[in-house]
Amino acid sequence: MSTATIESHDATVQPEDYFDHFWETKPGTLGGRYLRQFWHPVMRSVDLPAGRAKPVRLMSEDYTLYRGDGGKVHLTVHRCPHRKVQLSVGYVEGDSIRCMYHGWKFGADGRCTERPAEGGTGSIAIETYPAEEYLGLIYVYVGGGAPPAFPPYPGFFVDGVVETYSAHFPCNYVQSYENDWDLYHANFTHRTGEIHGPAAGPGRTDFFMGMFKSTQFAETDYGIVRTMTVLGGMTNAAILLLPTTVRLLIPTFNEQSRHTGPSLRETYLIHTPIDDENHTAFLTQLVPVTGAAAQAYHAEYQRVQEIRKSRPSTLAMAEKGLAGEMSVADMKDHPMLVEIEDMLTQLGQGRIVERRGEKLGRTDNGVVFYRRVLARELHALAQGRPTKPWVYMNKVPEGTTTFS
């Protein structure tokens, strides 16, 4: 039987006391205030070339992200203070950005350095925010004051190719985050069996029940650790890092698993809130290949990308499934079937899931554990007390599966 125990600031606090705050992202809300204590990825590094600016939406607010000509990333406000034109359509010059409307120019520190028609700049400045890159993702901090430690998690501990992926999910980030922490869902959500365990049948259920019955959860100073026994006695550990990240071992996506590369990958999976009803799922993964094997893998990766581009998006397929126009059986040859399956369940809960009507069971122990921790943190914030000072990991915990 899986176990779950947890200490709380207040034993009377229950998750349902804070269900109405779990999904919040806007500034000033309880959930939004908690989220703003952390770094968040907003884009893959490869999607922002030098000299380019792009708009980003994070936690219900808009910003301008740009990469200077020298390669450094910068985050600033969405609009020029002059006539409120969107800055991302302007010009990147060195590490500065110039508004395309009347040419006002702002340096990396936010200070206005040029107003071509006006002469002088006075004390005009725009707000800027910390931005860093790590394992192929661009992270930003918009919470004000000194940011927490960076990077937010340790890197991979063997050599290989770091590969990133992102996808838009039109639902609140928490329900997808809970999905990643729900081990047992794979038994039925991904029952095609192609990349998640054996094919459908009694053996598949036994496979997942064996892991489920050995699962334990423990809170540490950096997050929640889930341990379980897999593959004939080997211990596996996954880590939930509040507020949006999970470190775990996941199967390689369908089209790649059909041709080349490892069957499992060390992965950080992060759900970045766009607003209350949308988020971006980011993955940064290790592919443990080097040298000639890495070159061969890169060629195969490019081939798979072309296949993906030629097929309907995962969101378009999921929407057809939710509308009753297609079934999972109609989608089995899609190169990203696993993501469609996840979208069908997570989007099928609604844009913001109504948790109060749930009938929870034993397989929800991990989700309940997480909800208790989140409710505890939000309760502390609501009471004007400090939330838990999570320590950023500097190593992978003992028992975590790696390729070393």
In this predicted structure, the answer to whether residue 394 has a pLDDT above a threshold of 80 is no
Q: For the domain made up of 161-382, give the CATH fold.
A: Naphthalene 1,2-dioxygenase Alpha Subunit; Chain A, domain 1 (3.90.380)
**112 phi/psi in degrees, rounded to 5:** -70, 125
In this prediction, residue 1 carries a pLDDT of 34
CB atoms closer than 10 angstroms to residue 253: 21
Nearest to 60 by CA among 172, 144, 165, 214: 172
Least confident range of 66-70, 209-213, 340-344? 209-213
Residue with tokens 């930003």: 140
Rounded Cα distance between 87 and 54, Å, is 9
In this predicted structure, the answer to whether residue 37 has a pLDDT above a threshold of 90 is yes
Query: What percent of the chain lies above the pLDDT cut of 70?
Result: 89
What pTM does this model have?
0.93
Average pLDDT value for residue range 258-267: 70
Least confident range of 105-109, 115-119, 342-346? 115-119
Rounded Cα distance between 41 and 32, Å, is 16
Per-residue pLDDT band at 213 (split at 50, 70, 90): confident
Per-residue pLDDT band at 205 (split at 50, 70, 90): confident
Cis preceding linkage at 243, omega within 30: yes
Query: 3-state class of 185 per DSSP?
Result: helix
In this prediction, residue 207 carries a pLDDT of 75
Are 13 and 7 contacting, i.e. CB atoms less than 8 angstroms apart? no
Instruction: Quote the distance between the C-alpha of residue 137 and its chain's center.
Output: 10
In this predicted structure, the answer to whether residue 317 has a pLDDT above a threshold of 80 is yes
Least confident range of 125-129, 135-139, 258-262? 258-262
- What's the chain's Rg over C-alpha atoms? 22
Report pLDDT digits (tens) over 363-378: 999 999 999 999 999 9
Question: Is 43-140 a domain of CATH 2.102.10.10?
Answer: yes
Report pLDDT digits (tens) over 320-333: 999 999 999 999 88
In this predicted structure, the answer to whether residue 54 has a pLDDT above a threshold of 70 is yes
Rounded to the nearest 10°, the torsion over CA 252, 258, 260, 266 is: 10
Rounded Cα distance between 76 and 86, Å, is 11
Are 251 and 196 contacting, i.e. CB atoms less than 8 angstroms apart? yes
Helices (H), 6-109: 19-22, 30-35
User: Which one has a higher pLDDT value, 73 or 12?
Assistant: 73
In this prediction, residue 398 carries a pLDDT of 60
In this predicted structure, the answer to whether residue 300 has a pLDDT above a threshold of 60 is yes
* DSSP codes of every residue in 18-47: GHHHHT--STTSHHHHHHTTS-EEEEEGGG
In this predicted structure, the answer to whether residue 10 has a pLDDT above a threshold of 70 is no
In this prediction, residue 69 carries a pLDDT of 97
Rounded Cα distance between 359 and 262, Å, is 37
In this predicted structure, the answer to whether residue 402 has a pLDDT above a threshold of 60 is no
CB atoms closer than 10 angstroms to residue 71: 12
In this prediction, residue 396 carries a pLDDT of 66
In this predicted structure, the answer to whether residue 2 has a pLDDT above a threshold of 50 is no
Rounded Cα distance between 230 and 204, Å, is 13
Average pLDDT value for residue range 370-387: 97
In this prediction, residue 260 carries a pLDDT of 58
Least confident range of 190-199, 260-269, 272-281? 190-199
Average pLDDT value for residue range 114-130: 93
In this prediction, residue 177 carries a pLDDT of 97
Mean pLDDT for the chain?
Answer: 89
Least confident range of 7-16, 73-82, 276-285, 381-390? 7-16
User: Which one has a higher pLDDT value, 321 or 338?
Assistant: 321
In this prediction, residue 209 carries a pLDDT of 78
Between β-strands 3-4 and 216-219, what pairing exists: parallel, antiparallel or unpaired?
A: parallel
Per-residue pLDDT band at 346 (split at 50, 70, 90): very high
Q: How do the domains of the chain map onto residue ranges?
A: 43-140, 161-382
300-to-99, 305, 308, 323 alpha-carbon distances in Å: 41, 9, 12, 34
